Chains A and B, each alone.
Chain A
Amino acid sequence: EAQVTQNPRYLITVTGKKLTVTCSQNMNHEYMSWYRQDPGLGLRQIYYSMNVEVTDKGDVPEGYKVSRKEKRNFPLILESPSPNQTSLYFCASSTNRGPNEKLFFGSGTQLSVL
């Protein structure tokens, strides 16, 4: 089954404790992206990757890191999480970022930073 898999589904952590949210897709997609979703603010893009070893900042990249060493994986790293990073996170992928490409989203990771 074609899908984007995120882990973990839920995560509670404390301020300053490094964490990684994994994202993997099995569709051989070139483009991958991370979003966060907050009430009243909608989906905001954190980082995206056009291909292996190619990443770029989205609208809200501060406090986050990503890497794209393999085509299928695009982990999101929070080196020193803070409470304002409490949010619902989504990974998404598409064939490329052309004008008619739909995004496939993962099921989300609900992160709480205490």
Chain B
Amino acid sequence: SQKIEQNSEALNIQEGKTATLTCNYTNYSPAYLQWYRQDPGRGPVFLLLIRENEKEKRKERLKVTFDTTLKQSLFHITASQPADSATYLCALDAAAAGNKLTFGGGTRVLVKP
């Protein structure tokens, strides 16, 4: 089955700096990859989707890259703000895995003023 690894250690970062999160996967080559934000006790909220044939996707201060050779996606938050503090989840969908979006365990980001 698909395995997704995200750094379980919290990422502490100073306001204004760029936060970079990693998402590594094994087995199936995903058709696309999604990133979600989750605040404590709340449901995940969709942020970005990137397809296997796309190398980079941007949305405001967020940037996602997708390297199918390395089996890795990087998620960047530029000019980070305390309001960006949350847990960020990556999720993969592979045709070989059926109709299922498989989630990583998430990485918690804490932006300090």
Contacts and interface: CB of A to CB of B under 8 A. Distances in A.
A110 B36 CA distance: 20
Counting contact residues on chain A (CB < 8 A from B), the size range is 20 to 34
Interface string A13-32: 00000000000000000010
Contact of A108 (B41, B49, B89): B41
A69 to B, nearest CB: 20
B99 A48 contact: yes
Counting contact residues on chain B (CB < 8 A from A), the size range is 20 to 34
Contacts, number: 56
B99 A105 contact: no
Interface string A33-55: 00100001111110010100000
A107 B43 contact: yes
Contacts of A106: 43
Interface stretch (B11-19, B78-86, B103-111): B103-111
The 8 A-B pairs with the shortest beta carbon distances in the complex, nearest first, are A105-B43, A42-B105, A102-B46, A43-B103, A97-B99, A99-B31, A105-B44, A42-B103
